[in-house]
Each structure stands twice: as C-alpha cells, then as structure tokens.
A and B are shown apart, each in its own frame.
Chain A
Amino acid sequence: MAPQSNRVVELRIPSELGYEKIAREAVATVAHRLNFTKEKVEDIKTAISEACTNAIRYGSGSDARMKVVVILTADEDKLDILIKDPGASGTPPINIDIPDIDGMVEGKRRLGGMGLYIIRELVDEAGFVEASDEDEGNQFRMVIYRVEDNKKESSPEAKASGSENGGLA
C-alpha cells in the first residue's frame, strides 16, 4: 500500500504510563509507510513517547479513567501529530530549556524535565497549540517533514520559535 495524502489515524489510550507504547508502535507503522528513514522513525517514536508520557503524567495525572487522544495525520510532505490530554495540571510550560544535567548531578536541580527538550531536538516543529472552543485541555502538536528542503521552504522560523516559546503556539 503506497502512502496517500491526508490519511488520519486516531488513537485513544488510557492515561496510564506504559500505554504510550501503543502510540509509539502506531506512529512507527505510519512513518514507515511515509518512507521516513530508519533513524527518523526512531526519532519520531521517541518524540511521541515523550509527548504521550507528558500527557499521561501531567496532562491527566496518570488517572487511567481519563484518555489521551493521539491523532496522526499523514500528508504527502509531512507527518502531523496532535496529542490531546484533559489538562489536569493546568497551563503547560511555555519555555523549553536545555537540561541542566550538571545541576542534576550536583543535586541542585530535580531529576527529569528533559522530555520537551528531547522532543524539540528530534522533530521539525513542536509545541502546545491553543485548543478549539469545543476542546478542553492541552493540545501538543509535532510536525515532521518528509523532505528536509520542504521544512526550510514552508516553515523557516519553526525551529527558532520553538526554542523561545514552545513553537506553534
């Protein structure tokens, strides 16, 4: 089956750590069909794992009665990933800082807080987007372009804005 434009896969996973692996496997299948390289598929798998983990832990307080919705839209030139959570922890972070591993090792910073940074480094665009009126909670969007040149032509500011405000917001 050759990839076709605007194919959408929607998943609803329980808000329980471990279920992010379903999103991880699903996105790998979609990304393979879009002919992403093996390494890029690994990048996408890690990015979606981190995003879903955040949605589970912070966006819905690891309450398995809640759901995290993952929408994968396969387009001709890109893979668009939208992750929705109930927004249990309130406003998501705006800034994505480089992890202060020295501070963590020295005990000056809490361990963790690396997920958003890893995501930003692995995908072309990433950030929280404003939810529509009928949607409540947080929405986190990631975009991965199939051809490097497409990204540069269509979204030259994406990386820069992502580093300052989480991008796409």
Chain B
Amino acid sequence: MSEEIQVSVRGEGNVTVIDLVGDVTTFAEEAINQAYQSASADGAKNIVFNFRENDYINSAGIAILIGVVTEARKRDQKLLMTGLSAHFQKIFRMVGLTQYADLHPTVTDALASVNGEATT
C-alpha cells in the first residue's frame, strides 16, 4: 500500500542533495539511511534533504530524520531541508526538528544559505 520511496544523491555546488520522492514512512528507513551513509562516505559536510511537496510524511518518517540528525551531529555536518509543504514545515517545527535542520523553500535557497548569500 505504501508508495515505495525513490532516494537519490547528487552534488549541487558545495552541498550534497538527497532527493526524496514518495512516502517518508517507516518503509523509507533503509533507503534514507543508505543515501545518507553514501553522502557521508563521500565527505559531505552540507546535506540537503529535498522533499517533494505533497508527499506523505508521518511521525515514523520524522523519527528516521531525527536518527540522521544524531549521526550528522557526530560528523559535524550541516543538515538542511527543502521542498516541504507549509503543513509539513509546521509539523517539523512542532516536534522540534527545526532546531537541528534549517528549512528552505528550494535547493537554490539552501545553497545560498550555506554560501552566506541573500536570497530574494
């Protein structure tokens, strides 16, 4: 029943982007962790989780992301999240995830933030 998530890793300037397409639920754990480990193995210091707006994210999916936060802090990596709908931005703030990962509308905005550029 759950839409299988498609996770891919790409470089974008000096950040590593992990694109997430599909449901972010308990079924996404292996794919997300593999992508994160792959990015880390390549030395990523700034990692953007790029969500597709309107995909389904539940608390189990949020727990997976908190697990990534835990690993990223150990590795002194910066986490950013983009593409979230206003609703899921609210949920992420509600549970406190935004203390550990900056939210930006787009990957371009996240990239500008990492590079200290102002966005319009």
Chain B interface secondary structure, helix, strand, loop or mixed? Answer: helix
Which label, helix, strand, loop or mixed, suits the secondary structure of the A interface?
Answer: helix
B85 within 8 A of A: yes
The answer to whether B87 touches A118, judged by C-beta atoms less than 8 angstroms apart, is: no
Interface size on B, residues (CB 8 A): 27
Bound form: Cα–Cα A117–B69 in Å: 20
Number of interface residues of A (CB under 8 A): 28
**B2 and A17 contact, CB distance less than 8 A:** yes
Measured in the bound complex, the distance between the Cα atoms of B26 and A18 in whole Å is 10
CB-defined contacts of B56 to chain A, threshold 8 Å: 21, 24, 49
* Contact between chains at A111 and B2 (CB < 8 Å): no
Inter-chain pairs besides A99-B96, A101-B97, A115-B59, 5 sampled, C-beta below 8 Å: A18-B1, A22-B1, A42-B85, A101-B66, A118-B59
**A interface, CB within 8 angstroms of B:** 16-19, 21-22, 24, 39, 42-43, 46, 49-50, 53, 99, 101-102, 104-107, 111-112, 114-115, 117-118, 121
Q: Nearest 7 CB-CB pairs, A to B?
A: A18-B1, A18-B2, A101-B96, A42-B87, A111-B63, A114-B59, A112-B63
